[in-house]
Structure formats: structure tokens, C-alpha cells
Amino acid sequence: MFRLDSLALVSMGSFVILWAISVAAAPRRDREQSGLWELICLLAGTLMAYAAADIYMFLAGWLLTVWPYRRGDQLRPRLALAAATVPLAVGAALLTTPEYSSIAFGAFVLAILLRKGIFPLHFWTLDAFEHLRLPALALLLNSHLGGYLLIRFVIPAFPALAAEWLPVVSWLALSTSVLMAVAGLAEAQPRRILGLLWLSQGSFVLAGLATKTQEGITGALIHWWVVAFAMTGLISVYRSLEARTSSIRSRSGFQGLGAHAPRLAVFFGVCGFALVGLPGTLGFVAEDLLFHGALKAHPLLGVALPLATALNAITMLRLFVTLFMGRRAIHVPKIPDALPAERIAFTAVVVLLVFGGLAPALLIALRDPSAVALARLLSGQ
Amino acid sequence: MMEALLMAIVAIPGVTFLALSLMWLVGWAPPERFVARLTSAGFVLITMGVALLTWLMLASGTVSVRVPLGKWFHAGDYQFPLAMLADRLSLPLVAMTAVLGGIAGSFSVRYVHRDRGFFQFFLLLNLFTFGALTAFTAGSIDLLIGGWEIVGVTSVLLIAFFGERPEPARNAVRVFANYRIADIGLLLASFVLHHGGSTLFTPLLPGEWPEQTSRLSGPEVMAAGFLLLIAASGKSSQGPFAGWLPRAMEGPTPSSSIFYGAVSIHLGAYLLLRFEPVIQAAPAVAMTTTAVGLLTALMATVANRVATDVKTSLAFASMTQLGLIFAEIGLGFPRLALFHILGHAVLRTFQLLRAPSMLHDHHKMHAAAGGELGQTGALLNGLPAGLRLWLYRFGLERGYFDAWIERLVVIPVLWLARVIGWTPFGTGQKA
């Protein structure tokens, strides 16, 4: 029923930390009543999926993570999350039937593309970012269950098909990464910018897995953590600001909040720079490995990923200066800087990203066995 | 002894930055005097360390100190090697960073006194020094990229120092965009070098600077050379990246002096000097380097003559000298280029630090000359009126570089971004 190997334990451990950080940093209104229910479902479902030894247990965990979203006003996120479950169930039913292996593989890939918001099935994610509760959404997306499904079940079950078709997935991921990075340059709403950053940077994980090289796969698995922690940090800081002054959602131009909340500005900046690979952070390590793996796999892939990162970095800095710079906002009353619980949570994110960047060998060692196994499977050894 | 000294020189500003960050993070905002003294002590120690290292090297007849630090990380057959190098190229630049950084820091104690960003300024100054020293003493391109990026980020954050005004914030984003696009060249060059055998300078460029040779051959030399030129042009505001330097003058004057008069602006030239054997091994790259440098120098010297404020004028003057340094490197005069860098850095730092007092200085000079200061620009009077007018407009428009970049890159990219939003499979953007 459960399979607690290094991949599962490392993923479970990092998700529990991520969950604790999100809950500690979430405004009270996001962790009361239905918000709390969402957070508990996400924790239970994700841990169940990570620990699953068979596909049905994984499906149960997956279902639990999307269960809170079965109702609500937002049609596109609800539909996409429900729709992603259908091909997953089809794939699970056909997994052990060799004559339907192509259909099962295709169904799994469809589920992965939907869940990860890969182009052209990314349409729901920005709606979700714009309207859903951000702390729970950050956990839902940063659990990367689509990627986990690929690593844990799809590649081991269909190594030949995966080796043949992963390049297609990789090109779709690459398209997502570049298109969303370009779209981010003209976006004005902070929530949607965060969504575009997640889509673009998050798709690197699939692109890296498809390089079939050990450094590319290790880079993808490390980048998984970078996106999870850095995006959680960015989303949580933004949500903290939003809870203090809701006008930032609609107001255009410079918000000038840095003068009110300098610590939140610093946390936001560090998480943002880690996301786009600033040296001294884990993001730099992940992207160094990813770029080298990608260039080895295909020159165009290796050029497109740094380009997408560069564009995302520009968008990130634009969001940073929009939120924190400009004249001190006179319409904003005196708002508190990072509160004690927030400070602890954000410090934990920063420590993880910076410590991981200064001493990455330990984290790479945690991911290395999985990367070696995947590279072997994909190269047919 | 020399190896430990080299590591200590680089570590001092990094440790100071970390100590100050932790103090702030736990809620203690140190007083100005404490921050200033801690930073001053750091720069004094770095300067003494550089002097001692130079003396030890001269006394023992050592040409270069190479410190292999093993692998930072590895995956499969890919590894990120760490190595440090102090030789006839890097040591003068380390000394320049220590001395000029210390002077700019000392000047800043008064310049940003009681400013709300006093602490932030010194925090970034220490981080910048750490990045610059890391880049100059890197023994592999991987480590050089690390220092290079830190210098870029601190530079951008200091441009946005007076962030209450919208222009510094906007210009910071613009400069950051230039840096990030140009840095793609450096990332790709590191891959080419990795593919060519090693990213460590010792096996890649055997011998001692400036008599090194290149182990790269064939198309790799050409590819690496052009990619390095793109990265260097971005950092030193040359060629298509010439538009950002005047925008960077929004930052505080002391940071402008150390970044755009002394260290950061010369980092691109340093990159080319470090890989000079690669540049010279590919004649097309050498010729392009010379052409880019000369064209930028011509444009900048015209723009300099019509600039209406002193910092913009100095920015174009810096760009002119950097253009000439690029040309010297392209033409194969690395020693001349190194001396040019050092001389230019000292003069420009002095000019930028004196920029706020320019009118006062001018009045003093005017009085000392008995009210008879000679007119400048008389040489141009010999040109036809139409050409003079064209040159005037060319200078005012800053060589049309910004306008062309806006027309050919910025507008099409933003249009594409909006189109992505409108398409059925797009992002549903309402822009």
C-alpha cells in the first residue's frame, strides 16, 4: 500500500515543511473554517500520494487534494482539476493491461499536462491565481503531483514510451515556459504575474526531466524545490500584504509598500531572486544543472531556458518595484511589517534557499538516487 | 599562506554582509557609526591583505597564486569546480576594488548620513565588494558567473536606491533587463567551455597572463568568443547595450562612482582580458570587439559633448573609454588595456565623487585662471553647419541606440506579450 523509499520520504519531508511555512504565514482568514479544511485535505492527500505504492492509492491522494475545489464560483479551475482526474483514473485502470499501454500512457500524460498547467492546457491556472485562496493554491500547485506521477509511475511503467514521447512533453513545457515568460512582461495584476511566474518556472521541471541526462534530471528535481519554496515565499508575502491592504489588487502603479514593510520587501526579494537563479541561492544551482543538461539534450532547449529565466527575472523585478517602491502610499494606513509568525516562516524559506545555495551537495545527494534511476530508465539501461 | 590570504581577502566583505544581514533580520538596526566602522575595518583589512599578498608574491617570485577548492557540486559527469586565481591580471583589479571601494565607502558615510537607506547602502556595498572580488579572483568561469551576477544585482538595487521616485525604479528594471539578456551569453559560453574540456582557467588557458594560449579550437573558439563579447558588452555598456549606463546614474553618487566609474563597468573588459587568448584565436571575434568598441566610443564621445548634467556626461565619458579599452583588447594590446582600466577607474571615481561639487570646482578654476578659462569644442567649429547640426542631434538622441532598441526589441516583445494574452489559448490578459 505504501512505499517509503528515498523519493517518497524526501518529497514528504519537504512538503510538510512547505505546509508548515504556508500555514504559519497565512492570514487568519485563510486558515479558518473552509480554508482550514482545504489545507488539511491538501496535506493528507499530498502525503498519501507521495507515499503511495500503487496507482490507486495515488489516485485517492490526488482526489483528496482537489476535493475542496469541487464547489465554488470559478468554473475553469474546477473543471480543469476535475478533468485531470478522469484521464488519471483511465490510466490507472489500464496500467496493468499491456495491449492498452499506449492509451494508458497518453491518459497519464494528459493528466500531467492538465495538473501542471502545461500549454495549451494552462488556461485554468491564472483564474485560480486571481480568485482562489492563495496559501492553499500555493500548496496545491507546489506539490507538483503531476511531476511526481511521471517520476513514480509513468516512467517506470512505460520506459520505452516515455523515452519516445517525453521530448514532445518537453517541447510543450518549453513552450509554456517561454510563452508565459513573454506574457509576464505585459501583465499588470500582481496575482496574475505570480501565476505566470509559476507557470513559466514550474514547467522547467518537466523540461528538465525530458533531457534524459543525469544533470538535467537532477537539476529538474532541485528546481522542483526551488519553485516550491520560492513561489510559496512570494505568494505568502504577497498574501500578507493583500491581507493588510486589499487595494493592492486593483491599484495600478507603484504601491510604495517598502517603506511600510521593509522586511516583507527583503523576503520577497530574496525569494524572487532565488526563483530566477541568483548566485548564492539554490535557484542558481538548479538552473546551472538544468541548463547544462538541456544544452546537452538539445541546443534550442538550452537557449530557450536561460531566455525564459531572463524574462522571468525582469518580470519579477518589475513586480518587486511595483509593490515596494514609489512614494509611500498615503491611502494605506500604517501597516505592520512581518509579524513574528511570518518572520519565522519567511526566515525558514530564506534559510532553505540560501543554505541550499551555499551547500548544495547535501540536497543534490538527496535527489541523486532518483535522478540516476530515471536517467537509466530513460536511456534504456 | 598566500592561498589563505587570498581566500580571506574575498571572504571579508562576504562575512561583513552576512553579519549585518543577520543583525537586521533579528530586529537590531545597528547605528550608523557601527555600520560605517565595521565596513571601514573590512576595507582596511582587504587593502592590507592585498598589499601583503602582493609583497609576498614579489618577494618569492611567484607569478600567480592558484587555489583549487574542489567541487562545489556535481551530478553525473557534470561538475561545478571551485578555484581561485590571483595573477598579474586579477591582482591589480583586486587592489583597485579594495582602494576605490574603501574611498567610496568613506565618502558615503557623509553622503548618505541620516538617509533612510543608510544601512541598506552599506549592506549592498559589502555584497557588491564580495561579488567583485569573487569575479576578479575566480579561477573558473563558473565562479566568475557567481561574482558577476552578484555585482549585477547589487548594481540594480542601488540604482533603485531612491525608490520613492518612479524614475529610479523604472531605470533599475531597464538596466536589469539589459544585464539579464547579456548574461545569457555568459551562461552559454560556460557551456561551450565545458564542452571544450574545462571551465577552469588553468587547463583552459595554459601559461601566465598575458602570455597565455587557448586550448579551445575550431568552432568552439568562435562561439565562445562571440558569447563572451555579448556578456562583456552588456556589463560594460557597449554596442547594442549602450543605452543603460546613463539610466544607471539615478543611484547615489558614491555608488555611481564605484560601480560605473571603477569596478562594475570594467568587469566586461576584465572578462575579455581574461579570455584574451580565445578572442585572439578567432580573428572575427577580435575584429568585432574592436569595431564594437570604436563605434561605441564615437557615439559616446559625441553624446558626452551635449549632455546637460554632469553625471550623464561622465557616464558617456566612461563609455567612450571603455570603447577604447575594447578596441585595445581586440587589437591585441592586453597590457595597455589593463593600464587603461586602472588609470580610467581612478580618474573616473575621482570625477564622480567630485560631481556634486562641480560648479564650485569650476568657479575655483575660473578664478584661479583669472577669469580666462578657454572655450571647449572649438575643433568642431570647422565642420560644415549641417554636419554639426546632425552631430548635435545624434548626441542628444544618444546615437539613437535607445530608440532602435525600443523600436526593434521592446515594442515587438510587448506586442507579442499582449497577443499571447488575447489568443484563445492565451492567458486571458486584459491588457
CA distances from B44 to A60, A175, A297 (A): 63, 51, 48
Residue A369 in contact with residue A9, Cβ under 8 Å?
Answer: no
Q: By three-state DSSP, how is residue A122 classified?
A: coil
pLDDT at A223: 94
Calculate how close chain B gets to A56, using CA atoms only, in Å.
32
pLDDT at B431: 42
pLDDT at B215: 87
pLDDT at B98: 95
Percent of chain B exceeding pLDDT 70 equals 98
Write the single-letter amino acid at A375: A
Q: Is residue B308 part of a domain?
A: yes
CB of A361 less than 8 A from some CB of B:
yes
Percent of chain A exceeding pLDDT 90 equals 51
Residues of A in contact with B142 (CB under 8 A): 288
Q: Which of B71, B74, B187, B416 to mutate to test the interface with A (most CBs of A within 10 A)?
A: B187
Residue B430: how many CB atoms within 10 A of its CB? Answer: 10
Q: Which of A209, A212, A321, A323 to mutate to test the interface with B (most CBs of B within 10 A)?
A: A321
A295 contacts: CB under 8 Å, gap ≥ 6:
A301, A302, A303, B188, B191
Longest dimension (CA), chain A: 67
Residues B171 and B236 placed together within one structural domain of the fold: yes
**Cβ–Cβ below 8 Å for B76 and A259:** no
CB of A130 less than 8 A from some CB of B:
no
CA distance B18 to A272: 19
pLDDT, one tens digit per residue, over A148-159 is 999 899 998 998
Q: Which of B169, B176, B421 sits opposite A314 (nearest CB)?
A: B176
pLDDT at B271 over 70: yes
Q: Which of A317, A324, A350, A354 to mutate to test the interface with B (most CBs of B within 10 A)?
A: A317
Tally the C-alpha atoms within 13 A of residue B187's C-alpha that lie toward its C-beta: 30
Q: What one-character DSSP code corresponds to residue A331?
A: T
pLDDT, one tens digit per residue, over B8-54 is 999 999 999 999 998 888 778 889 999 999 999 999 999 999 999 99
Task: Work out the average pLDDT over B44-68.
Answer: 95
Q: Is residue B334 part of a domain?
A: yes
Task: Work out the average pLDDT over B77-85.
Answer: 89
For residue B305, the enclosing domain spans: 2-355
Residues B208 and B312 placed together within one structural domain of the fold: yes
CB of B142 less than 8 A from some CB of A:
yes
> By C-alpha distance, which of B420, B417, B419 is closest to B409?
B417
- Number of structural domains, chain B? 2
pLDDT, one tens digit per residue, over B131-166 is 999 999 999 998 999 999 999 999 999 999 988 888
pLDDT, one tens digit per residue, over B272-292 is 999 999 999 999 999 999 999
CB of B372 less than 8 A from some CB of A:
no
CB of A278 less than 8 A from some CB of B:
yes
B409 contacts: CB under 8 Å, gap ≥ 6:
none
Write the single-letter amino acid at B104: A
pLDDT at A132: 87
Q: Is residue B429 part of a domain?
A: yes
For A198-253, the three-class secondary structure string (H helix, E strand, C coil) is HHHHHHHHHHHHCCCCHHHHHHHHHHHHHHHHHHHHHHHHHHHHHHHCHHHHCCCC
pLDDT at B424 over 70: no
Q: Is residue B210 part of a domain?
A: yes
pLDDT at A332: 64
CB of A323 less than 8 A from some CB of B:
no
**Cβ–Cβ below 8 Å for B173 and A314:** yes
CB of B150 less than 8 A from some CB of A:
yes
Q: Is residue B218 part of a domain?
A: yes
Confidence class for position B196, pLDDT limits 50, 70, 90: confident
Phi first, then psi: what are they for B83, rounded to 5°? -155, 150
| B-contacting residues in A 239-258 (Cβ below 8 Å) | 253-254, 256, 258
Residues B411 and B350 placed together within one structural domain of the fold: no
Calculate how close chain A gets to B159, using CA atoms only, in Å.
12
**Cβ–Cβ below 8 Å for B164 and A215:** no
pLDDT at B427: 56
Residues B339 and B408 placed together within one structural domain of the fold: no
Out of A258-262, B215-219, B400-404, B411-415, give the one with best mean pLDDT.
B411-415
A276 contacts: CB under 8 Å, gap ≥ 6:
A201, A283, A309, A312, A313, A316
Residue A151 in contact with residue A374, Cβ under 8 Å?
Answer: yes
B333 contacts: CB under 8 Å, gap ≥ 6:
none
A102 contacts: CB under 8 Å, gap ≥ 6:
A161
Segments of chain A with pLDDT less than 70: 251, 328-332, 380-381
Confidence class for position B318, pLDDT limits 50, 70, 90: very high
Q: Is residue B171 part of a domain?
A: yes
On average, the pLDDT of chain B sits at 91
Phi first, then psi: what are they for B70, rounded to 5°? 80, -155
Q: Which residue of B has its CA nearest to A303?
A: B188
pLDDT, one tens digit per residue, over B89-139 is 999 999 999 999 999 999 999 998 988 889 999 999 999 999 999 999 999
Phi first, then psi: what are they for A245, rounded to 5°? -145, 95
Residues B291 and B430 placed together within one structural domain of the fold: no
Q: Which of A131, A295, A350, A364 to mutate to test the interface with B (most CBs of B within 10 A)?
A: A295
Residues of B in contact with A342 (CB under 8 A): none
Q: Are strands B65-75 and B78-86 parallel, antiparallel or unpaired?
A: antiparallel
Q: Is residue B373 part of a domain?
A: no
Residues B157 and B231 placed together within one structural domain of the fold: yes
**pTM of the entire structure?**
0.93
Calculate how close chain A gets to B377, using CA atoms only, in Å.
40
Please give the distance of CA B278 from its chain centroid, rounded to a whole number. Answer: 21
CB of B180 less than 8 A from some CB of A:
yes
Task: Work out the average pLDDT over B190-213.
Answer: 87
Calculate how close chain B gets to A292, using CA atoms only, in Å.
6
Residues B150 and B216 placed together within one structural domain of the fold: yes
Last residue of a domain, one of B355, B383, B417: B355
CA distance A110 to B96: 58
pLDDT at A251: 67
Q: Peptide bond preceding A120: is omega within 30 degrees of 0, i.e. cis?
A: yes
The number of residues in chain A equals 381
Q: Which of A113, A185, A311, A381 to mutate to test the interface with B (most CBs of B within 10 A)?
A: A185
CB of A336 less than 8 A from some CB of B:
no
pLDDT at B379 over 70: yes
Residues of B in contact with A256 (CB under 8 A): 164
Q: Is residue B191 part of a domain?
A: yes
Phi first, then psi: what are they for B82, rounded to 5°? -115, 125
CB of A304 less than 8 A from some CB of B:
no
pLDDT at A329: 63
Residues of B in contact with A120 (CB under 8 A): 425
Residues B104 and B36 placed together within one structural domain of the fold: yes
Identify the H or E element spanning A136: helix A134-142
B317 contacts: CB under 8 Å, gap ≥ 6:
B300, B301, B304, B348, B351
Last residue of a domain, one of B330, B355, B380: B355
CB of B78 less than 8 A from some CB of A:
yes
Q: Which of B73, B187, B417 sits opposite A285 (nearest CB)?
A: B73
Residue B86 in contact with residue B209, Cβ under 8 Å?
Answer: no
CB of A364 less than 8 A from some CB of B:
yes
CB of B173 less than 8 A from some CB of A:
yes
